[in-house]
Amino acid sequence: MANLILVRHGQSQWNLENRFTGWYDAELTDQGKEEAKKSGELIKKLDITFELAFTSFQKRAINTLAIILDELDQKNLTTVRAWQLNERHYGGLQGLNKAETEQKHGKEQVMTWRRSYTTQPPKLSREDPNHPIHSKVYDKIDPKLIPDTESLLDTYNRAVPFYTKEIETLLKNEKNILVSAHGNSLRALCKKILNISDKMITKLEIPTGNPILIEMNGLQLQSFKYLDQSRAKEIITNQ
């Protein structure tokens, strides 16, 4: 039996401000730090020893993981940082307030950008200084791989192959794995792991700082649940 725990980072400053965050490197708020600490406390009660941890290149996920590992007394756990686990790139919407964007473009259009599986938001120009190709964080990544915008499908197409290559083998060998990432990269992983359809994945929401425990036998799904039931959202399946 293997345990996989997926945690969306704690609340970030741009979550609080209701902005499209995407690849912008937002800081955790005080509430976000508390959510990460609570995540660590909940995971610690499971008495799981982890083989490896994975996170993205974005500091809100990195710092969430650090707080969790501190709570677990596993600060020396080997950690892999992968840009493939980054949040979905919201393109030209990045930084915009969601409510103001709805007023400008209409609620239906904004919900299509946010929840459609295949629709990309407008692209962010590569000349824009906020484009990640200009960030030192990504200077070792082939610029051709760095997106200008992404749908959830695009996010799936980078996050899931990484999961399949780097994480599935560990789970198959009954290793316990912890992943600290983002709402949309985790939605992509949940789509794969829980076999959620293209239609139903649009309904899946993952709250900040509430770990999902997934138990597997080999790669056969046994169970899944949020550790904090008071803040749980429905885990959508095809049934």
Examine the residue annotation and report whether 205 is marked as an active-site residue of this protein: no
Tokens read off for 160: 């899931």
Residue type, 159: A
Catalytic residue among 87, 89, 150, 182: 87
Examine the residue annotation and report whether 9 is marked as an active-site residue of this protein: yes
Tokens read off for 55: 């996170």
Distance in angstroms (rounded) separating the CA atoms of residues 180 and 87:
11
Catalytic residue among 9, 89, 131, 182: 9
Catalytic residues: 9, 87
